[in-house]
Amino acid sequence: MKMIFQQINSLADASFMVRQYFQPKFTAPFHFHYDYELIFIAKSYGKLYAGNRVINFNDGDIYFFGPGLAHCFYNDKAFIDSKQTAHAIVIQFKEDFLGKGFFDCAELVKIKKLLALSKAGIKVNRPDAALQSLFYELVESTGMRSLILLLKLMDELSVQKKSNMSFITSGMQSSFNADDPEKLETVFKYVLENYKNEVRSKKAAALAYMNEAAFCRYFKRRARKTFSQFVNDVRITHATKLLAGRDSSIAGVCFECGFNNLSYFNRQFKSIIGKTPFEYRKEFSE
């Protein structure tokens, strides 16, 4: 049985790792590790579960995860059905990959702060082409040039405007550890693949090989939210994506996301997002 902890081994001739993935869909399991991870989504869209949050991810997004932040990218069914190829570039490195105290020097104080902030999970909003191109250059580079490019990438990230950066977690992260088996990933997949329909905690518990009461306690202890709250988070996250467009009415968005009561949808949306669906759509369009 696989664990959600993932051990990262460095290449023999490199102090950090750069990988490029081309897949019909992202297949990395829900996991965490003790390395820093930079991810560029060159082509794909779907839902990202990180820490205790669910957010949409899209083409061009850049993420920076600090050590211990559990995460997984799930492609939307629409992306899988489109037969497109998911493309991502991933960079992983240890805190001391350049030696202990390397980032303590005055010239690197902003990068050191960036590393500290990444432990909450960072999303770069609307990264420009120059920032994205550094990932492509890193894939093609080796030796000293690849190290210089990585430092340049981190330097560029460290000077981004605050409006261009958002934090994925809000302080209270999930409590996952290396002994948690794959059962949580099975539950997440069940919700993310079925949130448009009825989702039952009894079914989720069965997938985790637990009775319903024990599963609900276990899930809340690990995810720091109830199972029903997690389901609503996924549904509302998808609703924000639909509301950004004009193809569906608010009632249509409500039912497309798995809610069967408009007033309940409005209450849940405001509770999670902080504004009504109408206010969100209006603000987004403005």
What angle, 0 to 180 degrees and rounded to 10, lies between the N-to-C axes of helices 262-273 and 277-285? Answer: 60
Buried b (16+ CB within 10 A) or exposed e, 123-147: bbeebeeebbebbeebeebeeeebb
Q: How far is CA 13 from CA 6, 67, 93, 138, in A?
A: 21, 23, 13, 15
The candidate with the shortest Cα–Cα distance to 97, out of 180, 206, 13, 14, is 14
Query: d(Cα 262, Cα 51) in Å, to the nearest integer?
Result: 29
Note the pLDDT tens digit of each residue in 126-144.
899 999 999 999 999 988 9
**CA distances (Å), 180 to each of 47, 69, 122, 219, in order?**
22, 14, 24, 11
Question: Computed over its alpha carbons, how large is the radius of gyration of the chain?
Answer: 20
Handedness of CA 208, 67, 97, 152 (dihedral sign): positive
DSSP assignment string, 47-67: EEEETTEEEEE-TT-EEEE-T
- How confident is the model over 18-47, as pLDDT tens digits? 999 999 999 888 887 889 999 999 999 999
Q: Are 119 and 68 in contact (CB under 8 A)?
A: yes
Contact criterion met (CB below 8 Å) for 257 and 235:
yes
In what side-by-side order are the strands of the sheet with 165-167? 17-23, 86-93, 36-43, 62-65, 122-124, 165-167
**Reported pTM:** 0.83
pLDDT tens digits, residue range 87-118?
999 999 998 999 998 999 999 999 999 999 99
Q: Of 245, 264, 244, 284, give the one whose Cα is nearest residue 254.
A: 264
Q: What percent of the chain has pLDDT over 90?
A: 66
Domains and CATH numbers, the chain: 17-167 (2.60.120.810), 183-285 (1.10.10.60)
* Contact present, 37 and 91 (Cβ < 8 Å): yes
What distance in Å separates the CA atoms of residue 151 and residue 62, rounded to the nearest whole number? Answer: 16
For 111-120, write each residue's pLDDT tens digit.
999 999 998 8
Distance (Å, whole) CA 228 – CA 234: 10
pLDDT the model gives residue 10: 47
Question: Which pair of tokens denotes residue 102?
Answer: 């390397």
- d(C-alpha 258, C-alpha 234), whole Å: 10
Alpha-carbon dihedral 5, 209, 55, 150, rounded to 10 degrees: 10
* pLDDT number for residue 286: 72
Task: Say whether pLDDT at 158 is over 90.
Answer: yes
